[in-house]
Amino acid sequence: MARIEASSLDITHLDRLALGNTYLHRLDPRAKVLVTAVFIISVVSFGKYEVSALVPFVLYPAIMMAQGNIPFGVIVRKAIFVLPFAVAIGIFNPFFDREILVQLGPLAINAGWVSCASIVVRSLLTVAAAIILVAVTGFPAVCWALERLGMPRTFAMQLLFLYRYIFVLVEEGRNATRARELRAAGKASMGMATFGSLVGHLLLRTWERAERVHMAMLARGFTGEFHARRESRFSMKDFLFLIGWSSLFIVMRFWNVSRIFGNLVTGILR
């Protein structure tokens, strides 16, 4: 029960963060969506052996968290959730790609470990950027921006309803778990039959709840359109935000800033 309550609070945390009034929150959602898209494309387009070149991209999520008053722990907890999946994808690389790529004294690091590290770093960076986008924009505003940028309205609405369906599922799961605990006479565990029955009833109850919500929306005049919480206009500050960050990402994509900085520092120390 406590785990479900914690999950519910964790899901709504991003929505509460999106209600802020910082400089980032006031930017047009389209500018933030485009900047995030350029960031993700730049990060994932690196070669499989690039690790040091990815380090400067940490600057973007760090600045966004600072300017948007987003707690560091929130982003880290949610980004680390994808870590097992990233590790599962790259963990076998060291066994198939045995070419020695880095030699640190007596320690030889083969190309497989480097490519595995690159996969993990790129996964964490892209997921962190997406989470920060939702935290400073709000998921409804993100869907609104995607529609204005050319996404079909039906697909945008499906994304929004899918996001809202999570809250319905969590609420019904909390009610079902509370009912089971009241009838369990102190038993902490349940058998597979009970678990299967609980999941089936949960899906049916959630489906019925979602249908009632949709009927209520239609009764209130819903016509297939949704509106962002703030009316936005693409202003000069949005344009500067888009051009500034996108230009920086392109520079860091085609020039290894870490290597250039390292060579510069090494030359000065010599």
> What is d(CA 45, CA 81) in angstroms, rounded to the nearest whole number?
22
Give pLDDT tens digits for 103-150: 666 776 777 788 888 889 999 999 999 999 999 988 888 888 888 888
> What is d(CA 57, CA 52) in angstroms, rounded to the nearest whole number?
10
pTM of the model: 0.80
DSSP calls for 48-109: TT--GGGGGGGHHHHHHHHHTT--HHHHHHHHHTTHHHHHHHHTTHHHH---EEEEETTEEE
User: Do residues 2 and 125 make contact, with C-beta atoms less than 8 angstroms apart?
Assistant: no
Instruction: Tell me the pLDDT band of 65, cut-offs 50, 70 and 90.
Output: very high
* Amino acid found at 172: E
pLDDT value at residue 4: 47
